[in-house]
Structure 1
Amino acid sequence: MRPMLIGAPAIEPVSLAEAKTWLREDGADEDQLIQALIVSARLTLEAYTRRFFVTQSWRLVFDAWPESLRTTSALSIPFAPFQSVSVIRFFDANHDPQIVPAASYRAPAANDGGRVIFASAPPPPGRNADGVEIDFVAGYGALASQTPEPLRRAILALVAHWREKRGDETDDALPKAVAQLAAPYRPERLI
C-alpha cells in the first residue's frame, strides 16, 4: 500500500492573522516565515496524531487487493478522520482503468480510520504492480473551525516555540505543552 496526496487542504487550521495575534506580531516582515511555520506545525502534528486536520484527498495504491478481502470482505483505510471514498478503480490486463461500481461497496464515515465493505469480491487487477487505486477524503472538515480547538492551539504553541528558538534547540521532541494538547487525539499503540 502506497499513500499519495492528490488534493492538499485548501486552508490551514490556523490563519496567518490568528498566528500573528497569538505571537503578538504587528508587522508584516515575518509573514512568510510565520505562514511556513503554520504549515510545518500542521504537518508535524498530523504525523504525531496520525490524523488529518482539514479536508484533503488521498489515493491508496495497491499491487493487488489486500488479503483481508478474502476473509472479511472489508478493506481498512488507516487514515483518520475518514470522510468518504471518491472512487475505486482497478487496472485490467490492457492497463485500462476500470471503475468499481459504488453500489457494490459501502464506506461509512468514521472518526478513526475507515473501512470499505464490499458486497462481493471485486474483480482482480490484470497487472501485477499498482493494480488497484482507492481515492478517498479524510479530515475533520473543510473549515478551519472544524479542527478541534486543542489541535489548533497545539499548532499555535508549536509555531511560537519554533519562532522563538529559530533552530537553536537540538531536541527533536515536541514541547511538553504541544504534546499535551495533541495527546488526546493520538491513538494508543496496541502491543
Structure 2
Amino acid sequence: MWATSGKMVIYLTIKTQKPIKIINDCDALIDEVDVASAILWASKVPTPSIHHVYQYGNYAGVTVNGEKTHVHRLLLEWQMNQKLPRGMFVHHLNENKMDDRLSNLAIMVGKYHTSHHMAGAKFTQEHKAKLSEANHRRAGTKQKKRRNLPVTRIVEAYKNGSSVNSLAIRYHVDWTTIRARLDENPELLEARNGRNL
C-alpha cells in the first residue's frame, strides 16, 4: 500500500496460469495434454509452467502442490473429478506400469486387484516365513498363531477314515487348519483319490 496526498492506492498482483509443458524424463507412455489438464485440475494455486514426469518407484510420477504423486492415479482422479476412495486402485490393463494413457487404466477394488496380480503365484516356505515376519512387524495388525500339529498323526488318521471335522475337534483347531495341513502334504494324493476333503 502506498499513500499519496491523502488517497490510498492498493497494488494487486494478479497471477495467471501459463500453459503447462510436460517433460517426460522417464519415457513413460503418456498423453501430455491429459497430464497437463490433470495437473491443472489438482493444483490449488497457479503452478509452474514446466512439469517433469519422472520415475517414482516402479511408476511414472509428477509433483503437484509440492507433493509427489503417481501419474496413473492423478489421471483417473481428474477423469472422475474426485479423489479415489480408500481401497480403490488403478490397474494397468496391459500390465505395463509405465503406460499411463487413459485407455490403459482401470479402477479396481483392492482385494480383486491384489488377487489378479497374485493369481497362480507359488511361494516357497522361506518366502512365506518372510511375509509372515513382515506382517508381524506391521503396526496394528493381528496375526493368527500358527499351531504346531503332529502332521504325520493327522495324515494317518485321515487315511484310516477320520473326517476333517473330527480331526479338527480332536486337535482343538478350525477345520480349515486341518485341511491346510492335509493340502501341504503331497503324500496324501493317494489317500485323497477316493475321498473328498
Please indicate the TM-score interval, normalised by the length of the shorter structure: under 0.3
Whose strand fraction is larger, Structure 1's or Structure 2's? 1
TM-score, normalising length from structure 2?
0.21
Give 1 or 2 for the bigger CA radius of gyration: 2
Whose helix fraction is larger, Structure 1's or Structure 2's? 2
